[in-house]
Amino acid sequence: MWTDLARVLRLWAPRRAALAGAMLVAMVSALSGVALLALAGQGVAAGLAAGGIFGLAALVWVRPLVLLRPLLRWGERMTSHAAAFHALADTRVWFFRRLAERMPGGIGMRGSGDLLGRVIGDVDALDRLYLGGVLPAGAGLAVLLAIVALLAGEPWLMLLVCLPLAFALVLPLLLAPAAARAAQRAAERRGGLRAAVVDPLAGLEDTLAANAEARAMDRLDGADRALMRGQRSLAKRSAWAGAAGGLLAQLAILAALGWGLAGGTEAAGMVVLALFLSVAAAEALGLMPRAGAALASAGAGARRLFEAADTPAPVAEPSHPAAMPSSSELVLKDIRFGWRPGAPVLDRLDLTLGEGERVAILGPSGAGKSTLSALLTKLAAPEAGTIRLGGTDIAGLPAADIRSRIVVLSQQARLFDDTIAANLRLAAPGAPDAALWRALAKAGIADHVRGLPEGLETRCGEGGTRFSGGEARRIALARALLPPAGILILDEPTTGLDAAAERAFLATLATACEGRSLLLVTHRLTGAEPLDRVLRLAGGRLLAATA
Amino acid sequence: MRQARVQAWRVALPIGLGLAVTACQVAVAFLVARILTTLLGFSTGGGWGDLAGAGALMLASAGLGGVQELAQQSAGEHARARIRAALFARMLELGPADPRGVGEKAALLVDRVEALDGFFARWLPAMTLAVLSPALVVALVWRADWVSALVLACLGLLVPVAMALTGIGAARESRRQLDVLGRLAGRFVDRLRGLATLVQFNRAEDEARALGAAAEEFRWRTLRVLRVAFLSSAMLELLSAFTLGYLAWRHGALMVGRGASDPTLSLFVVLMVPAFFAPLRAFSAAYHEAMSARGAAAELAPLLEALPAAGLLLEEVPRRVALVFNEVELRHPDAPKPALSRLTFALAPGEVLMLVGPSGAGKSSVLRLLMGFARPTAGRIAVNGQDVTRLRPSELRRLSAYVGQRAHLFGGTLRENIRLARPEASEAEVIRAAEAARVMAFAAELPQGLDTPVGEGGHGISGGQAQRVALARAFLRDAPLVLLDEPTASLDPGTEAEVMEAIARLCTGRTAIIATHSAALLGLSGRVLELGDRRLADAG
């Protein structure tokens, strides 16, 4: 837990100045609270001791503090929250970057609901590290030191008062490890609740089609109950820690009174001072033991965040990238690869795709056609064999450069919940509308888009749900045709297109990939494709096919 | 808020405990004051006995406080669970008609409902305690010094005024903040599900920056909400500091000036200030939680207040289904032309209908109408002579086995994904369905067979394989009406031929509608209905 929290703090290093500044304000604010009560105490004590000048003078100083203290408290809260939220926003972006880096082929077995929970809920929990842990600890320490200084005249009194207060300050460190397990469980269950909500909603039609509403409700109910149990155990720890904190602060009051009772009336002034200081400390230090549960929650959030963010990258980036070759000739030699160990999908595969060549790869579903395009775009690295682009091994080339040279229209190509134009411009930022229309025309969907009242500005809906399957596929196709990449890999480009649309698209394919190499991955050919060669993928190898 | 009234005792318990805590604090303040005056030599009443009594009361008050907190927690969680379940049921009922994205829905169900917690857990008890506890303190202080009591009462009455002043617009701000959170969540889920597409086009970095902008907006929206809360707690501190300062001065001066007042009572009054403001502090904190709960509730209310879908229930699923479409029209609210216009056809029990036509012609719409995902905007659809709109949509779905174009695989094993269609099916039936849909053809080669886990959205298996799993569901479903939307779209010709044979078997004796482009599927015996932009012709 502590290592995770330390890593979070390192992650927040760029915000160090703001975080430290807020801490300073918090300390000053806490000290002003001590000063207010100390002066009030002095005033009362002096008044009771029949009118010392010091007592009334002390009360004069109370007046500006009465105004200053709430102001400082407000400033402390604003600056500390502003700094903490900046750090949280940074963390969210960092997390997304990491995922993109570590899961370039998609989120795989991790559900999107689970990851959403991590980026929203678990990142939110991190603010407790600072706001609930570091910050109050700093303020509490300042208060404790001030009390030590003010009571230094009576060492035994100081010791009696400060011991319970110091104990309240270190209590969270003792409580946190035990609370960590409960916090971890609560965080996991919150993730479970989110998954229970997202999973059936992501496949809403299929959930409904199976009349699985009742089962989805049961799952939600179970997840909610589990979360409640987890939260309750954490709340219990927090509540009792809070009670302990209040008690420790009050113990300081009792200690001061006890010291007075034992010592007699001479030191009564000091007792009153100690009493009021203890009351002031209750505010700063009494809440401190709760920090244990807060730190544990933050630690659990950090654990879950790093666990997802530390998924190993499937293909490491080269440390000394080679220069991009100008030629787009692809040569694959002796490739072996499998997604599961011991089950190779591709075995001793050879392929040469000359510059400007158009080759089709045929094969039944599951034969490894999509795997091949994953290898070519460095979403995975071959277990054996080499892939050369223009003579350079792609292992030595940066993945981003490879992906701008080789564009894949995969089966999972997704339209985002944004406008058609924005979805297309993903592939070519800043492309003029005319280019977008040309790409749409090649994909055979321009007329349809023109017929929409909002044209290019029509929103696609999540995953392109605004359109029929064939229309969405064609927009994705237009997007793949847009960038000027040297090599185009189309994985079943005509899925969901009717026969007439398919013929029309294949007729434009020759012009669409003019001057580019084309790898057409498909399970059947219509005969209309403008191809140079046809290969068949079988048994993990590519063989020439008689088309 | 009205939807989930908390049982009265759940609120009464924390209130009773809160009052007990205040009573303890009052007693402690009195004992401490007595010990102090003894120390100062004004009286001789206080001693070790008082100290022990104060210690015991402090212990009791800490214990009662802890129990109070837990009682509040429990009241909150029950209310939340009830609201969450009601909302989720409503979202399932609305189905695909609800345009919100998955991430946004999840934010509603999880985060907004969590935001209601403060209302039930703390606001309801704090509201009562903020009146009763200070009143108790004022009454007791009155007996000691009526001026002090009056000051306390007046300043205490200022608290709600300050709250209301600083809280103006708080609910609105908090609603905006939650809206932004919903958008942030929606955007994040959407982009995550298409992470591979973003990486392909090297746009992950831009997306990270755009996400950063969304996260930044959420940050300052949150801060705006908090600024209001902080302002009101600053007001409260000002009031409490002022009270303390004034009472300290008054009682200090009283004794300096005349020495007439009872020093024990004077000290008691000063020591009562924290106990007086504690419930008001809790009230102030809860007030802002309640404000953000109102913000959250504003979005939830329309969903919760909507009446549950009415409609008839099926007594039993009929064995045979006859279908009639009469001048059926489906028009989406913002679409320029109807998705389906004036479609008429009839289908006898056991008949198979192929829907063909260019994409966007409305093939899927016909199936979606029969699944109750949409309601016809004009015309009439009858199943066995009954208007389908009279049936509750979930009941209508009991008639059908449906495979949509974007069949979704849930995170779980292949077996669980198939079994979804009919959980009570036997093991042998699941295997038979998997065989019929040619799932076994690839599952047999996997080391874990049907127990192979697949990721959400079908990660780990190919598109064609996912489609076969979806088809296996239809086999297992064993419903009288079969609705298939492009069932062989991503299959290779070999598998397609095998699956087609299986589809032919599936359709035997059942009424079936198959939307398809595939020439091979048209080889199945059945009528063909061509939908087009032009006139609709029944080509049967």
Is the pLDDT confidence value at B6 over 60?
Answer: no
- Average pLDDT of every residue of chain B: 84
> Which range, of A523-532, B385-394, B498-507, averages the lowest pLDDT?
A523-532
Is the pLDDT confidence value at A473 over 80?
Answer: yes
> Which range, of A51-55, B67-71, B394-398, B492-496, averages the lowest pLDDT?
A51-55
Q: Which CATH class is domain B323-530?
A: alpha beta
Q: Is the sign of the CA dihedral A82, A85, A91, A97 positive or negative?
A: negative
A292 touches chain B (CB under 8 A): no
Assign A544 to helix, strand or coil.
strand
Q: Is A421 exposed, middle or buried (0-12, 13-18, 19+ CB in 10 A)?
A: middle
Q: What share of chain A is helix, strand, coil (3-state, %, to 5)?
A: 65, 10, 25
pLDDT for the residue numbered B538: 39
CB atoms within 10 A of CB A125: 25
Q: Which of A352-361, B218-227, B308-317 has the largest mean confidence?
A: A352-361
Question: Residue A511: which pLDDT band, with cuts at 50, 70 and 90?
Answer: confident
Six-digit token string for B362: 């409305």
> Region A7-32: what's the mean pLDDT?
93
- The domain segmentation of chain B, as residue ranges, is 2-301, 323-530
Across the interface, of A86, A235, A452, the residue whose CB is closest to B219 is A86
Six-digit token string for B56: 């015991």
Q: Is the sign of the CA dihedral A522, A525, A529, A530 positive or negative?
A: positive
Distance between A377 CA and the closest CA of chain B, angstroms: 8
Task: Give, rounded to a whole angstrom, the gap between the first and last alpha carbons of chain A.
Answer: 61
> Region B258-275: what's the mean pLDDT?
76
Strands B323-330 and B378-383 come out as antiparallel
CA pair distance A154, A165, nearest whole angstrom: 17
Q: Any alpha helices (H) in A383-537, and if so which ranges?
A: 399-405, 420-425, 433-442, 446-451, 469-481, 499-512
Assign A146 to helix, strand or coil.
helix
pLDDT for the residue numbered B451: 92
> Region A203-214: what's the mean pLDDT?
90
Interface test with A, best of B31, B116, B359, B369 (most A CBs within 10 A): B359
Is the CB of residue B403 less than 8 Å from the CB of residue B474? Answer: yes
Task: Look at residues B83, B68, B77 and name the one whose alpha carbon lies nearest to residue B125.
Answer: B68
CA pair distance B23, B58, nearest whole angstrom: 11
> Region B441-458: what's the mean pLDDT?
84
CB atoms within 10 A of CB A320: 5
pLDDT for the residue numbered B1: 46
Q: Which residues fall within 8 angstroms of residue B524, CB to CB, at 6 or more apart?
A: B352, B354, B500, B503, B504, B507, B514
Q: Taking CB atoms and an 8 Å limit, are B66 and A69 in contact across chains?
A: no
> Which range, of B40-44, B108-112, B213-217, averages the lowest pLDDT?
B40-44
CA pair distance A93, B22, nearest whole angstrom: 47
A326 touches chain B (CB under 8 A): no
pLDDT for the residue numbered A225: 92
Q: Which residue of B has its CA nearest to A51?
A: B256
pLDDT for the residue numbered B534: 41
Is the CB of residue B511 less than 8 Å from the CB of residue B323? Answer: yes
Is the pLDDT confidence value at A265 over 70?
Answer: no
Q: Is the sign of the CA dihedral A33, B268, A253, B37 positive or negative?
A: positive
CA pair distance A521, A490, nearest whole angstrom: 6
Six-digit token string for B117: 């917690």
Assign B354 to helix, strand or coil.
strand
Is the CB of residue A117 less than 8 Å from the CB of residue A194? Answer: yes
Is the pLDDT confidence value at B511 over 90?
Answer: yes
Is the pLDDT confidence value at A333 over 70?
Answer: yes
Q: Which of A486-500, B271-285, B371-385 has the largest mean confidence?
A: B371-385
Task: Give, rounded to a whole angstrom, the gap between the first and last alpha carbons of chain B.
Answer: 56
> Region B461-475: what's the mean pLDDT?
86
Cα–Cα distance list, A222 to B3, B77, B277, B415 (Å): 22, 14, 41, 22
pLDDT for the residue numbered B535: 38
Identify any residues that bridge with B413 across adjacent strands, giving them in sequence order. B453
Distance between B197 CA and the closest CA of chain A, angstroms: 6
Task: Look at residues B170, B177, B176, B179 and name the one whose alpha carbon lies nearest to residue B108.
Answer: B179
Q: Taking CB atoms and an 8 Å limit, are B223 and A265 in contact across chains?
A: no
CA pair distance A142, B46, nearest whole angstrom: 33
Q: Taking CB atoms and an 8 Å limit, are A261 and B405 in contact across chains?
A: no
Q: Any alpha helices (H) in A482-540, and if so which ranges?
A: 499-512
Cβ contacts of B457 on chain A, cutoff 8 Å: 202, 412
CA pair distance B416, B420, nearest whole angstrom: 6
Assign A76 to helix, strand or coil.
helix
Assign A329 to helix, strand or coil.
coil
Question: Residue A547: which pLDDT band, with cuts at 50, 70 and 90?
Answer: very low
Six-digit token string for A428: 């070519």
Tell me yes or no: is domain B2-301 CATH 1.20.1560.10. Answer: yes
Distance between A372 CA and the closest CA of chain B, angstroms: 13
Across the interface, of A120, A210, A410, the residue whose CB is closest to B111 is A120
Is the CB of residue B403 less than 8 Å from the CB of residue B485? Answer: yes
Chain A from 477 to 506: CB within 8 A of any B CB: 479, 483, 492, 495-502
Query: Which domains are present in chain A?
Result: 2-103+110-309 (1.20.1560.10), 330-544 (3.40.50.300)
Interface test with B, best of A66, A345, A401, A460 (most B CBs within 10 A): A66
pLDDT for the residue numbered A31: 92
DSSP B126-184: HHHHHHHHHHHHHHHHHHH-HHHHHHHHHHHHHHHHHHHHHTTTHHHHHHHHHHHHHHH
Task: Look at residues A115, A481, A314, A303 and name the one whose alpha carbon lies nearest to residue B457.
Answer: A115
Interface test with A, best of B21, B24, B102, B495 (most A CBs within 10 A): B102
Helix A291-309 and helix A53-102, axial crossing angle in degrees, nearest 10: 20
Rg (alpha carbons) of chain B, rounded to whole number: 34
Is the pLDDT confidence value at B402 over 90?
Answer: yes
pLDDT for the residue numbered B305: 81
- Average pLDDT of every residue of chain A: 86
Q: Taking CB atoms and an 8 Å limit, are B358 and A500 in contact across chains?
A: yes
Chain B from 12 to 51: CB within 8 A of any A CB: 28, 32, 35-42, 46-48, 51
> Region A393-422: what's the mean pLDDT?
89
Across the interface, of B47, B192, B489, the residue whose CB is closest to A261 is B47
